[in-house]
């Protein structure tokens, strides 16, 4: 048996998923089946199987040849990574082409496993599960744009509503429109008339899934100078979005800032992805457009979880896992997550569900930088959190979690925050991060980063209004100059009298 590094969770068993799409084929090897999956290895090839299918009715011969040659490598990589199982799914091109069954049979022989060729309904179902797995209480329409088809499905919480599959995949639309942007608009508008469910999405969120739309969002980031290059839960502001999409849809990509950062193999489909998104927005009138890094593959992986695991919060699960891997004590981190909630209530701070979730995650991650040089623990923690592959968190929430940990290490000095991070977090979360950071700076000096003490600390209000953090008499030795000084800082942040005392009752 191959020994795994301590940088991996010891209770996980790797598994692989190969996703055979109309444009791309991707192998993803996951650390294991988990609520917040971690990728061990990821490789794709742009085979373009669906190219020409409208005209010929068959898979592209060159794409078939290249895919068949690559399947042996994908299987070898899966085995090399120690994957205990290999799951293969195929979508629009493979199910619709005349030679699809023959291609699937050849692939099954090479991969030595049965391939699940998804129907349009199944593809929409797994796309919806991908959104459910990646967003906390999703509410809107999920749109998964592949090379051959567009799956639209209504998602609200854990409920999957109506869905439809339309022939608007990038490769297919490009071929049907014969490279004409005007024709592409006409085709997309005509097809989307059939998507009655879009009318029920007005004022809700449209979730963009698929490589073409992710690259479109990446281009949007560069055009607007967006500084956090994290695709999942990136929200494209409605103001100016139509103008951006129209520019891309026109096909004049050379004039778009940042186009050189997009793979040449992907650029050709961007105008058709932009056209389709424009028409979706026209029909649906969403409140916002949000990008998902999770789709059919992750939805399929989510379906393999037990119902108990599915109900877990993906952000909290991922934060706990990182604490297990990097903190001095995950138990201490969990104590912080619980105790700071009690503290916020004592402060009179009301929390929304999102506020509470993000605070808990910040506490679970509060000690992940302890091995770094003291001068850089805050910066390292901020960078790890800001750029981690977390799901179930929007970008302002991610910025809050990162800033709380910056303040916890470096002090609650606002000049330590870059203008970009401050803007991303919003004033609400910047202030919350200062409060939480100041609170953590007090309690870490009383716990020595080890569990057991935090649950015994309580809050008491004196008749004069002073809020006291009470240390049990048996822990009186923890009192000192430094924690008292930190308490003074917290008092200034909250703008109310506070004191650190030993229980004298």
pTM, rounded to two decimals: 0.94
CA gap 100, 115 in Å, rounded: 12
- pLDDT tens digits along 472-490: 999 999 999 999 999 999 9
CA distance to 143, 465, 498, per residue, from 495 (Å): 47, 12, 9
- pLDDT tens digits along 215-224: 999 999 999 9
CA gap 282, 353 in Å, rounded: 32
Q: Which pLDDT score, from 0 to 100, does residue 420 have?
A: 85
Q: How confident is the model at residue 5 (pLDDT cuts 50, 70, 90)?
A: low
Q: Which pLDDT score, from 0 to 100, does residue 1 have?
A: 43
Tell me: pLDDT of 204 over 90: yes
Q: What is the DSSP string of 435-462?
A: HHHHHHHHHHHHHTT-TTSGGG-EEEE-
Q: What is the DSSP string of 343-370?
A: HHHHHT----HHHHHHHHHHHHTTTTTT
Give the CA diameter of the chain: 86
Q: Cα angle at 371 between 366 and 375, to 5 degrees?
A: 85
Of residues 391 and 266, more confidently modeled: 391
- Over residues 368-379, the mean pLDDT reads 95
Q: Which pLDDT score, from 0 to 100, does residue 47 have?
A: 94
Strands (E), 6-104: 15-20, 25-30, 39-45, 86-90
Q: Which pLDDT score, from 0 to 100, does residue 482 have?
A: 96
CA distance to 7, 96, 349, 466, per residue, from 339 (Å): 28, 56, 14, 20
Tell me: pLDDT of 282 over 70: yes
- pLDDT tens digits along 235-253: 999 999 999 999 999 988 8
Q: Which pLDDT score, from 0 to 100, does residue 505 have?
A: 66
Length of the chain: 505
Q: Which pLDDT score, from 0 to 100, does residue 398 have?
A: 97
- pLDDT tens digits along 121-155: 999 999 999 999 999 999 999 999 999 999 999 99
Paired with 434 in beta bridges are: none
- pLDDT tens digits along 328-361: 999 999 999 999 999 999 999 999 999 999 999 9
Q: Which pLDDT score, from 0 to 100, does residue 414 have?
A: 74
């Amino acid at each position: 048996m191959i020994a795994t590094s301590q940088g991996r969770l010891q209770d996980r068993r790797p598994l692989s998923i190969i996703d055979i799409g109309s444009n791309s084929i991707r192998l993803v090897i996951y650390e294991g089946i988990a609520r917040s999956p971690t990728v061990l290895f990821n490789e794709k090839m742009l085979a373009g199987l669906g190219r020409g299918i409208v005209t010929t009715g068959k898979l592209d011969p060159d794409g078939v040849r290249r895919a068949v040659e690559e399947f042996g490598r994908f299987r070898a990589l899966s085995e090399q990574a120690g994957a205990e199982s290999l799951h293969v799914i195929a979508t629009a091109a493979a199910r619709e082409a005349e030679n699809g069954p023959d291609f699937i049979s050849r692939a099954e022989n090479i991969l030595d496993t049965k391939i699940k060729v998804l129907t349009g309904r199944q593809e929409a179902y797994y796309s919806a599960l991908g959104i459910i797995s990646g967003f906390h209480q999703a509410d809107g329409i999920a749109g998964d744009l592949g090379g051959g088809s567009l799956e639209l499905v209504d998602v609200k919480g854990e409920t999957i509503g109506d869905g439809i599959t339309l022939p608007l995949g990038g490769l297919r639309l490009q071929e049907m429109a014969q490279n004409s942007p005007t024709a592409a608009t006409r085709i997309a508008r005509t097809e989307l008339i059939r998507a009655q469910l879009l009318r029920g999405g007005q004022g809700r969120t449209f979730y963009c899934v698929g490589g073409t739309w992710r690259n479109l969002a990446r281009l949007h980031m560069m055009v607007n100078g967006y500084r956090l290059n994290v695709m999942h839960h990136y929200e494209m502001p409605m103001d100016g979005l139509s103008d951006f999409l129209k520019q891309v849809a026109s096909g004049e990509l050379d004039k778009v800032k940042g186009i050189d950062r997009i793979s040449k193999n992907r650029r050709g489909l961007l105008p058709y992805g932009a056209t389709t998104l424009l028409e979706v927005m026209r029909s649906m009138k969403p409140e916002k457009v949000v990008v998902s890094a999770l789709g059919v593959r992750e939805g399929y992986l989510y379906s393999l979880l037990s119902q108990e695991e599915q109900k877990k919060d993906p952000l909290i699960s991922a934060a706990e896992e990182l604490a297990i891997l990097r903190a001095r004590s995950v138990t201490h981190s969990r104590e912080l997550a619980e105790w700071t909630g009690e503290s916020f209530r004592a402060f009179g701070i009301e929390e929304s569900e999102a506020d509470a979730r993000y605070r808990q995650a910040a506490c679970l991650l509060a000690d992940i930088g302890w091995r770094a040089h003291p001068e850089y623990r805050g910066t390292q923690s901020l960078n790890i959190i800001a750029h981690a592959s977390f799901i179930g968190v929007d970008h302002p929430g991610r910025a809050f979690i990162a800033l709380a940990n910056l303040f916890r290490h470096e002090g609650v000095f606002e000049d330590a925050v870059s203008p970009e991070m401050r803007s991303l977090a919003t004033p609400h979360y910047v202030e919350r991060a200062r409060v939480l950071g100041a609170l953590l700076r007090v309690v870490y000096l009383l716990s020595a980063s080890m569990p057991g003490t935090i649950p015994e600390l309580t809050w008491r209000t004196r008749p004069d209004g002073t809020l006291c953090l009470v240390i049990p008499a048996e822990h009186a030795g923890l009192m000192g100059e430094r924690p008292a000084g930190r308490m003074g800082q917290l008092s200034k942040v909250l703008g109310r009298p506070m004191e650190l005392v030993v229980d004298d009752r």
